[in-house]
Structure 1
Amino acid sequence: MPVTDEAIEKIKAMIVTGELGPGDRLPKENDLAERLGLSRNSLREAVKALSLIRVLDVRQGDGTYVTSLEPNLLLDAMSFVVDFHRDDTVLEFLEVRRILEPAATAMAAAHMPDEQIADLRRVLDSLDEVPTIEALVQNDLEFHRRIAAGSGNTVLCSLLDGLSGPTTRARIWRGLTQEGAVAKTREQHTAICDAIEARMPEVARSWATVHIAGVEQWLRSALVGEGTQPR
């Protein structure tokens, strides 16, 4: 194992075991390097790497601290990678959404507070009868964001939030080119909201699967049929 990787593993072990917790300050560099049997250079490289993925916070003139370790903070690194996706990976992002989002929707049906469900219904009702594609997509993003938050699982919510960006262009492309896309989106969103409101997790899961799989299936057909990709 490379020396830097070994140093990262040793610091991670201190956090995992609870020796260091959120907000704790790391021991001084000399003391920590000696304690872990590391060179100061390898320790510095490990600290730099862990600060890049938001595990550690290096404060100049103050010291190095463990961050809050909140999921949304730690998943920033994933969002950074997602921002560099290529158009030919959009289908892969949709596949992951199809796996994760139905689970989040079922959890929302079981746990989402009544007032949040009412807000979700208001999001649907706020869309004009003949919306622009931009308004439809923004409404779609907000609808799915609220459901993910309503799952009550912050890790799942952060993952889905990170996955929503790469599929936005595909959503716009579908709205512009597929006949009946607006009506179909409205119908499926309403069915999902109805199932959540009725506290029917498995029905909500099924409708979410149908909804996302439909977008995925359409995109596969469009890419194959036209030899193009959403840009």
Structure 2
Amino acid sequence: MSLADRAIARIRELIRSGVLPPGAKLPPEQQLAAELGLSRNLMREAVRALVAARVLEIRRGDGTYVTSLEPGLLLEGLGSAVEMLSGDTLLEVSEVRRLLEPVATALAASRITDDGLRDLGRHLEAMRRCRDDPERLTEHDAAFHRAVTRATGNATLVSLLDGISGRTLRGRVWRGLVDGAAADRTIAEHEAIHAALAARNPALAHATALVHVSATEDWLRAHLRPDGPGAVPTDEPGASCASRQPAGPAAHPS
């Protein structure tokens, strides 16, 4: 370990041991450096690294504090990190999602509330209304899946799936732009997931989610091949791709 890594580890240990619990204010820089046997430069470097990791936050004019350490905060950078992946690693991300999301959907089936079901229903209806708009359909698709995961009540699972799902958004939108028959299929898949959750049937919820996520993974695998029918772009399609939207039903967000 480098000296900086050792300094980071020392501060992390204070937090893990409860000496500096969530919300606690760190002692003055000079005092903490002396207590840990660190130079002030090393202390500053360690603090900067932990601020970037969302473990600490600097409040100007007040001091440095331990954050809430909630999963949504600590895992916030996961999506950005995953966005840097490319090529076959996109398929690996999709594979991880296939392993996690059906299990999360099954768990949601046993925990979802009536309010949660109504929220899902609103996103599903919005998907039906904007079936010809790939980007809006993708937005409501993503919101639908977030609502399903939130229904598990597991904040860590929500953060993990949010992080790994973001990387596939480009592929979802692009699929809508090149595959005009996809909207009807993806809406039908979401309707099946909604029905399984409404029935509070974990086994059926797992099965419908697995079918849905696997279909998207198969599509990505085919389109990432050099000789495939299309290619997932490295840049967001955005407005520049609007003119390429098919005239008929569009988009298979996942």
CA contact (8 A) 1:88 1:229 kept: no
User: Could you tell me whether the CA contact under 8 Å between 1:107 and 1:152 is conserved in 2?
Assistant: no
212-221 vs 156-165, greater mean Cα deviation = 156-165
Q: Percent identity?
A: 47
Contact persistence 2:130–2:136 (CA under 8 A): no
Count of residues in Structure 1 that have an aligned counterpart in Structure 2: 231
Aligned letter for 1:105? T
Cα displacement string for residues 46-99 of structure 1 (whole angstroms, at most 9, x for unaligned residues): 111001111111223322110111211112222332343335533222112112
Q: Which residue of 2 aligns with 1:102?
A: 102
Q: Relative to 1, partners in 2 of residues 1:130 and 1:13: Cα closer, same or farther, differing over 3 Å? A: closer
Cα separation, 1, equivalents of 2:79 and 2:170? 16
1:157 is aligned to 2:158: yes
Report the counterpart of residue 229 of structure 1 in structure 2. Answer: 231
CA contact (8 A) 2:176 2:182 kept: yes
User: Superposition pairs for residues 9-88 of structure 1, below 5 Å?
Assistant: 9-86=9-86
Q: Say if 1:89 and 1:229 are closer, same or farther in 2 by CA, change over 3 A.
A: farther
Q: Distance in 2 between matches of 1:85 and 1:54?
A: 22
The whole-number CA distance in structure 2 between the counterparts of 1:221 and 1:167 is 14
Moved more, 50-59 or 85-94: 85-94
Secondary structure of 1:58's counterpart equals strand
Deviation at 1:25, TM superposition (A): 0.6
Post-superposition CA distance 1:164-223 (Å, at most 9, x none) = 222112112222333632221112111111111111112211211111111111121222
What one-letter code is carried by the residue in structure 1 that aligns with 2:212?
H
TM-score of the superposed pair, with normalisation by structure 1: 0.91
Are the equivalent residues in 2 in contact too, given 1:87–1:229 (CA < 8 A)? no
What is the CA–CA distance in structure 2 between the aligned matches of 1:129 and 1:72, rounded to whole Å?
30
Report the counterpart of residue 175 of structure 2 in structure 1: 174
Deviation of the 1:139 alpha carbon = 2.3
CA contact (8 A) 2:79 2:167 kept: no
Letter in structure 2 aligned against 1:148: T
SS in 1 for 2:168: helix
Partner residue of 1:111? Answer: 111
Q: Any conservation in 2 of the 1:8–1:46 contact (CA below 8 Å)? A: yes
Question: Alpha carbon RMSD of aligned pairs, Å?
Answer: 1.9
User: Could you list the runs of 5+ residues in structure 1 that have no partner in the other structure?
Assistant: none
Give the CA deviation at 1:228: 5.0
Other structure's SS at 1:48 match: helix
Q: 1:151 to 1:85 in 2, by over 3 A?
A: same
Structure having the higher helix fraction is: 1
Amino acid at match of 1:104: A
- Aligned residue for 2:129, secondary structure, equals coil
